[in-house]
Amino acid sequence: MRENTGASATFETLTQEEKRHVITMLSMGKLSEDEKRQLAQICAQSVLSEEEKQQLNRAFSMSRLSDEERRQLLAKRKIQKENEQREAAVSGDASAAEKQMAARVRIPSSKVSDAHARTVIQPMVSASQTAGRSDEDDNAVTRHTEKVSAKKKEKPLPAETDDEDDYEPDHTALTSLLKGIVYIVTVLVISVFASWTIIEVGNDVFAFVKSDEIVTVTIREEMTSSDVAQMLAENGIIKYPTMYELYVRLKKESTEYRIGEYEVSPSMNYGKLNDAFTYVSKTSEQVVVTIPEGYTTDQIIDLMLSYGIGTKEGFEAAINTYEYTGFRFIDELSEEMDPERKYRLDGYLFPDTYFFFKDSSEVAVIYKLLQNFDKKVSEEYYERAALIGMSLDDMIILSSMVQAEGRSLTDFENISSVFHNRLNNPGRFPLLQSDATLQYILEKRKTALTAEDLQIDSKYNSYMYPGLPPGAICNAGMSAIDCAFYPAQTDYYYFLSDGKGNTYFSRTNEEHEALKKEYIDNQ
C-alpha cells in the first residue's frame, strides 16, 4: 500500500475541466515524452472509469502521431461528424445523434491554453515524485506501461471506429514499404533488361560470340543500306537490321554496294560486313568493256577474260547455275527451257558499254548485264509476244537470228518478215533454213556451209529441225529485238547474203535460186 506522505496525486482528484485539458494536451502532442511517462504512472495509480480509460488510451495513441497525420485524422473526423449530423437530421432523431457524438473523443481547438493545462499536470507530477510507492503500485505502473506498448504494436488506431477508411499510421508505413519494394524491384528488372539488351545488341554489332558458319549472299543493283540490312537479317547473319542501318549512318560507312555474290559469316562485325560489300582495293583497276551487238556468250566470256575479269569456269557457272531472282524472263525461261540449250542465259546478256573492276565476281558481271536487259525489255514486249502467240524467250531467240543474219536496220526488218512468214506457214515452210543457227554449234565459223554441215544432227540445225532452235544464238541489240517484235509486212520467204554486206529477198524458190546463181555461184 502507498503511504500518505504527501498530497494524493491521482487522476480522479482532478475536476472534469482539468481532466479535459490534460487529455487535450496529450492528444495534441503538447506533452514531452517524460511528461507522458509520468502521466501514465499517475493514471496507473488512479481509479478510472471505463470512459476515462477509453479517452486516455485514445489520447496516448493520438500523441504518437505526427502533426500532419493528426491534421488528417481531425479533418476526417470532422467530415464524419458532419455526415452523422446530416443523417440524424434526416431521421429526426436529434437526441440520438447528440448521444453518439458525445460518445466520441472531442478534441478542442487551439483555444486550449498550454499554460493552463500544464498548471494541472505539474502538481500531479510533483505529488507523484514525492509520494512513496509500494511494490504493488510499481507493478501496476509497469503493467499499464506494457499494456500501452502492447496496444501500440497491435492496433495503433487513435480512436475506435468501424470505418475501414480511417487513418492508420502503421498501414501507411506498410504501404510506403511496399511501394519502396515495388520501386526497387522495378528498377532491378529494368536494369537487368537494359543490361541484357545492351549485351545482345553489342554482340550483334561487334560479333563477340557468334557462329562462324559461312553463308553466301547476293548484293543486287541499287540496294540501299536498309535493303542490305534486311537481307543480312533474313540470312541469319545479323539479328537487328535497324541497328545495322543506324551503324552505317552514324559511322558514315560507304553505301556504294558492289553487285555480286559474297561469302560472309555471323562472326563478322557490322564494319567488316559493310566493307565486304563496298570495299574496293586501291590496286583494283576499273576497266571499260564494250560488248558488241551480236556477240555470242562464248565471245562475251572471252572478252571478259581478256580484261582480266573472272575465269571461264566461273562465268559458265554464273550463267548456267546461279539462281538470279527478281527477273521475270528468267522465271518464265525456267519453265520451258529445252535441255539441249547451250547456255541458259543466251540472248539475255545485253550488249552495251559497261564499267567493271578487275576484281569483280563473275556473278556481279552477269547480274549487271541482266539488269540492263531487264530495263530495256519492258512489259510492252511481253504483251507483244503474247499477241503474236509466242513466249518472250521465243522472241529473243528470233531476235538473235535476225541479229546474226542481218547487217542493217532494213535487213533486220525484212529478215524478220521472212522468219515470221515461214513460222506462220509451217505446212509450206516447215524449216527456217538459217545458216546462222548451224554456224552457232560449229567449233569455228565458216564463210559457207558444206553438205556435211547440213547433216549435223542438232536442234540448232534449222535445215533439219522445224521451228526455232533451243536457245538464242547470240545476244541481240535493241534494233534487232524491235524488228523481231515488229517485222516489215512483206510476202518474202527467202533471203541470201552475198558475203559483201548485201542481202537479197525473194518471194519464190525460183527467184531465190536465180539470185543465188547470180550472186553466190558466180563468185
| pLDDT digits 0-9 by tens, 255-300 | 888 877 787 888 888 888 888 888 665 446 789 999 999 999 999 9
- Within a domain: 163: no
Q: What is residue 121's predicted lDDT score, i.e. its pLDDT? A: 54
CATH of the domain at 275: 3.30.1490.480
Report how far residue 57's alpha carbon sits from residue 66's, in angstroms, rounded to the nearest whole number. Answer: 17
How far is residue 108's CA from residue 41's CA, in Å, rounded to a whole number? Answer: 25
Higher pLDDT, 460 or 74: 460
**Model pTM?**
0.54
Q: Do residues 387 and 355 share a domain?
A: no
Task: Please give the tally of structural domains in the chain.
Answer: 4
What are the tens digits of pLDDT across the range 311-352? 999 999 999 999 888 899 999 987 778 999 999 999 999 999
Same domain? 348 vs 480: no
pLDDT for the residue 2: 37
Residues 6+ apart with CB under 8 A from 146: none
Q: Taking 80 as the threshold, does the pLDDT of residue 106 lie above it? A: no
Give, as one character, the DSSP assignment of residue 105.
P
pLDDT tens-digit map of 218-260: 888 788 989 999 999 999 989 899 989 888 888 778 888 887 7
Residue 199 lies in a domain: yes
The beta-strand segments (E) located in 277-344 are 286-290
**Do residues 499 and 387 share a domain?**
yes
Between the ranges 21-30, 32-41, 440-449, 484-493, where is the mean pLDDT highest? 484-493
Is residue 357 within a helix (H) or strand (E), and if so which, with residue range? strand 353-357
Same-domain check for residues 68 and 15: yes
Residues 181 and 266 in one domain: yes
Distances (CA, A) of 196 to 92, 192, 266, 270: 69, 6, 20, 20
Q: Are both 153 and 174 inside the same structural domain?
A: no
Look at residue 309 and tell me whether its pLDDT is greater than 70: yes
Return the SS3 of 365. Answer: helix
Residues 37 and 83 in one domain: yes
- Identify the pLDDT of residue 102: 45
Specify the DSSP class assigned to residue 442. S
Of 231, 259, 279, which one is at a domain's C-terminal end? Answer: 279
Domain limits at 222? 168-279
Same domain, 383 and 517: yes
Domain stops at, among 158, 177, 200:
158
In this prediction, residue 456 carries a pLDDT of 94
**Pair (17, 108) in one structural domain:** yes
Please state, in angstroms and rounded to a whole number, the distance separating the CA atoms of residues 444 and 433.
Answer: 19
What average pLDDT does this structure show over 97-123?
47
The set of cell numbers assigned to 249 is 549512318
Where is average pLDDT lowest: 14-28, 86-100, 367-381, 437-451?
A: 86-100
- The pLDDT value recorded for residue 381 is 97
Specify if 414 maps to a domain: yes
Q: Are residues 370 and 391 in the same domain?
A: no
Convert the pLDDT of each residue in 77-98 to its tens digit: 788 878 877 776 665 544 544 4
Q: Please give the radius of gyration of the chain, using alpha carbons only, rounded to the nearest integer.
A: 53
Statement: residue 125 has pLDDT above 50: no
Q: Is residue 407 part of a domain?
A: yes
Classify residue 5: in a domain, yes or no.
Answer: no
Q: What is the pLDDT of residues 425-438, one digit of tens each?
A: 999 999 999 999 99
Looking at the fold, whether 419 and 515 belong to one and the same domain comes out as yes
455 with 401, same domain?
A: yes
Last residue of a domain, one of 139, 158, 177: 158
For residue 234, tell me if it sits in a domain. yes
- Mean of pLDDT over the chain: 81
